[in-house]
Structure 1
Amino acid sequence: MNAKAVDYSRIAQSPQFKALMAKKKRFLVPTSLFFFAYYFTLPLLTSYTTVLNAPAFGSVSWAWIFAFSQFIMTWALCILYSRKSSEYDKMIEDITSSNE
């Protein structure tokens, strides 16, 4: 096999790679913090308050609405990341092609 050795330490020190990591961090840290805050709000509110016990409509309480909204929030974040990842993939292609 005629595989070319990749110098990962040189890639890791490149300004393009550092820009990629900074861009991903600017997206992932706030998104992750939002996800965890939203996720842990339901168990905290249901354990320590009665605010979600009120009926939203019929016999469905706000706790059920909030629980269902977590699925929607997770799907939305996954779709958002999938769209953002195409930018990251382009940056990765540029980094690897410039370091060959």
Structure 2
Amino acid sequence: MAQPKLVREHKKENIDFEKVESSPQFKRLMENKKKFIVPMTIFFLVFYFLLPISTSYGTFLNTPVFGDITWAWVFAVAQFIMTWVICSVYVKKANTFDKDADQIVREQIEEGGNA
């Protein structure tokens, strides 16, 4: 697995990651990540399990939309679309998290937090 760019640049320096981890900026970053990841995960799981539960215990998805295509098929295709959308949103958001993490490490290095 490739190391982040900032860590590679300062590989010879000893970065005090324990100090980085205890910093308020890092704690804020982790809280922001949690506020993003937890709701997205809950949404994904609910949306994903709604199809098998709905088809097992209900009949409303068996009604036709047009021709022989039922709402169950529409919902199943929507799951693929939803997966790609969530993946794209996460990748964009993860890039901002990476930039924030690099900035936190950079600030720690500038403060003379090296061992």
TM-score for the superposition, normalised by structure 1: 0.92
Percent identity of equivalent pairs? 45
2:86 matches 1:77:
yes
Opposite residue 85 of structure 2, the aligned amino acid is A
- Secondary structure, aligned partner of 1:56: strand
Aligned to 2:49: 40
How many residues align? The count is 99
Rounded Cα–Cα distance in structure 2 between residues aligned with 1:94 and 1:19? 13
Question: Of residues 84, 91, 102 in structure 2, which corresponds to 1:93?
Answer: 102
Residue by residue, what CA displacement relative to the aligned partner does 1:35-89 show, whole Å, maximum 9, x if unpaired? 0000000000011111111111111111010000001111111111111122112
Q: Which runs of 5+ in 2 are unaligned?
A: 1-10, 110-115
Aligned to 2:62: 53
The structure 1 segments of at least 4 consecutive aligned residues displaced by more than 4 Å after TM superposition are: none
Aligned to 1:29: 38
State the structure with bigger RCO (CA 8 A, min sep 6), 1 or 2: 2
Superposed counterparts of 1:2-13, under 5 Å: 3-13=12-22
TM-score for the superposition, normalised by structure 2: 0.81
